[in-house]
Amino acid sequence: MVINGLKGFFDDARSIAQRDPAACGVWQVIFVYSGFHAVVLHRMAHWLFRHHMKCIARALSQINRFFTGIEIHPGAKIGRRLFIDHGMGLVIGETAEIGDDCTLYHGVTLGGTGKDKGKRHPTLGNNVLIGAGAKILGPFKVGDYAMIGANSVVLHEVPAEATVVGVPGRVIKHEGRPIRHNVELDHDSAPDPIEQEICQLRRRMASLEAMFQTDVNCQEAPEEPGQQEETSIK
């Protein structure tokens, strides 16, 4: 267990040193990165929590918060190589789950939306990036390799490999392909009410244009050779 713990400790530090362009090596991460300290202390608090020492676990998480400015409930499940960059103001709720190789910036909240008991915080897949100040609220899944823009507020499930931005958050890229709801007339998927209105107007304009075009085509269509004579006979 101790060997596994030490391996995980150095694994976490090494991955931060590799992912942060400002880092000067593993030892700097170990000694001065508060995001790293927060994860190490959380792993201890989580161990205590799982072994029915919930009060001590909670006290340790408060000490963690005091020194790092990062509040992680001891019940939260955190995968390997989490990188908390800067960290200050970050909150992770009790039933939140975080996969491997995720990156969270300062001001991120993995929170709930009400006072319900049970699973009420999000589950992040692997390699998820959450930008500074983003709020992910509710017991839904954020898929692998998803990216959440800085200051977004996400209230619904996010598919794997999607990029979500805005308030409320909406998917602007999926599997590398940009998605423009108002251009693609996909108004049901645009959560922004103004954008929905624009989508509906564009849809109505497109159908009016199509009707107009059909009328013009009918009027401009050359008459059949016998048609003129038929009309004149009548």
CA 33 to chain centre: 24
Lay out the site mask for ligand COA across 168-187 (x = CB under 6 A, - = otherwise). ----xx--------------
Neighbours of 232 (CB within 10 A): 7
Give the nearer residue to ligand COA in terms of CB position, either 61 or 152.
152
From the list 6-14, 18-26, 68-76, 158-166, the region that binds ligand COA by CB under 6 A is 158-166
Residue 165 binding ligand COA, by CB under 6 A: yes
Residue 110 binding ligand COA, by CB under 6 A: no
Binding-site size, ligand COA (CB under 6 A): 13
From the list 13-21, 145-153, 188-196, 208-216, the region that binds ligand COA by CB under 6 A is 145-153
Residue 150 binding ligand COA, by CB under 6 A: yes
Residue 105 binding ligand COA, by CB under 6 A: yes
The answer to whether the beta carbons of residues 144 and 126 sit under 8 Å apart is yes
Residues 6 or more apart whose CB falls under 8 angstroms from that of 70 comprise 34, 35, 38, 64, 84, 87, 88, 89, 90
CB of 34 to ligand COA, least distance (A): 14
The answer to whether the beta carbons of residues 74 and 61 sit under 8 Å apart is yes
Give the nearer residue to ligand COA in terms of CB position, either 132 or 185.
132
Give the nearer residue to ligand COA in terms of CB position, either 48 or 162.
162
